[in-house]
Amino acid sequence: MNFDTSEEQDLLQDTLRQFAAQECPPNRVRALFDGDEALDLDIWQKLIELGMGGIAVPDEYGGAGLELLDLALAAEVLGETAVPCPFLGHSLAGLAIQLCGSELQRKTWLPKLASGEVLGSVAFAESASEDGAGGWQPEDWTLAAGDRLTGTKAFVPVGTRSDLIVVGTAGAGLALVEVGAPGLELTDAGGIDRTRHLANLSLRNTPCEPLAKSGPPVGRLRDAALVLLAADAFGGASKCVSMSVEYAKTREQFGVTIGHFQALKHQLANMATEVEPSRALYWYAAHAYDHIQEESERAAALAKSHITSQYMQVARDSVEAHGGIGFTWECDVQIYFKRAMFDRAFFGAPAVHRERIAQMSGW
């Protein structure tokens, strides 16, 4: 019985935190947020050198052969530091090929993803919908499968700079398309989170390579995606709490630091109390994915729905805790606010997953 991270895992997180502090401190994050580039190659290359391209890729394909928990711990730190990078889409592309690809497909693509030679991403959503269902879920994909694809997909992370995109197709299937293939077009979707640009994908009779397996392994891919989003959200939400606490210790009003005021102290204590228990919730979801498969689907959906809604709330609270500065573009809080909006809506809003859980419970 040991529900704690290992020394190696702590080291992984520390390394990433150091990397962020040196290579991508808040002023760099802000500059990238303001720029138009969907990808900063320098930062991504360095993350690849740290092994971020293939944490969970099995070693025989050039990865580190670790578990989803390790990937999620990395996602937490990237969420906390808001380093603009294609980690989410790239990791999910790798997981998709690992879970659903044939041996040949794995051999062809995984080493290239792990080494960063190829930048991967995923295309799941089919349209922007009002209820947040939006064709995100594998059951809802309608894009006709085959050797060629025709149709559109929305919200492909860092799509405009990706090389290889895993596309969800009807019947909970997946297919690989290479950027540059005939009929393929990627346009910037004007995503709200400028640390993770989104693209729309349009395919017209575009040649593709269907992945070998569909159905349940694609469900596993969804679970992994939900865990990574939950981990990112936990990192970001914790950061919102710590930024607000730090601000309360330095900003003075009425001759004292504002942390002296109990109303604010209690708001901060409530924010921390919302967030901190969720560390265990996402750990558990990641651990269940790796080792308790019968609980994995439910735990992933619970972590995603719970933590991303908390992140959103705590980001709102952080704006308030910062006063006028919190409402500005200049303040880092707005960056986390928008990352929260991403984590909340990407792959289905909290309500969508709560309803899934209700169904899984047989209610």
Chain residues that interact with another protein, rule: CB under 8 A: 1-6, 69, 245, 248-249, 256-257, 259-260, 262, 265-266, 268-270, 272-273, 276-281, 283-284, 287, 291-292, 299, 302, 305-306, 309, 351, 354-355, 357-358, 361, 363
Rounded to a whole number of angstroms, the minimum distance from the CB of residue 311 to another protein is 13
Q: What's the token pair of residue 267?
A: 């708001």
Rounded to a whole number of angstroms, the minimum distance from the CB of residue 340 to another protein is 16
Please say whether the beta carbons of 185 and 202 come within 8 A: yes
Rounded to a whole number of angstroms, the minimum distance from the CB of residue 31 to another protein is 30
Rounded to a whole number of angstroms, the minimum distance from the CB of residue 255 to another protein is 11
Rounded to a whole number of angstroms, the minimum distance from the CB of residue 87 to another protein is 22
Please say whether the beta carbons of 290 and 69 come within 8 A: yes
DSSP state of 144: P
Q: Which residue is listed with tokens 């935190």?
A: 17
Return d(Cα 24, Cα 27) in angstroms, integer: 8
Rounded to a whole number of angstroms, the minimum distance from the CB of residue 287 to another protein is 5
Angle between helices 41-49 and 7-23 (to 10 degrees): 160
Rounded to a whole number of angstroms, the minimum distance from the CB of residue 225 to another protein is 18
Q: Which is nearer to another protein, 195 or 318 (CB)?
A: 318
Q: Which is nearer to another protein, 157 or 236 (CB)?
A: 236
Q: Which residue is listed with tokens 């689907």?
A: 297
Q: Which residues contact 32 (CB under 8 A, 6 or more apart)?
A: 24, 40, 84, 194, 195
Q: Which residues contact 257 (CB under 8 A, 6 or more apart)?
A: 248, 249, 250, 251
Rounded to a whole number of angstroms, the minimum distance from the CB of residue 71 to another protein is 14
Q: Which is nearer to another protein, 107 or 291 (CB)?
A: 291
Q: Which is nearer to another protein, 210 or 259 (CB)?
A: 259
Return d(Cα 70, Cα 290) in angstroms, integer: 10
Return d(Cα 342, Cα 71) in angstroms, integer: 19
Return d(Cα 326, Cα 319) in angstroms, integer: 4
Q: Which is nearer to another protein, 193 or 274 (CB)?
A: 274
Please say whether the beta carbons of 241 and 134 come within 8 A: no
Return d(Cα 3, Cα 67) in angstroms, integer: 15
Q: Which is nearer to another protein, 47 or 66 (CB)?
A: 66
Report the Cα–Cα distance between both ends of the chain, in Å, rounded: 32
Return d(Cα 235, Cα 183) in angstroms, integer: 39
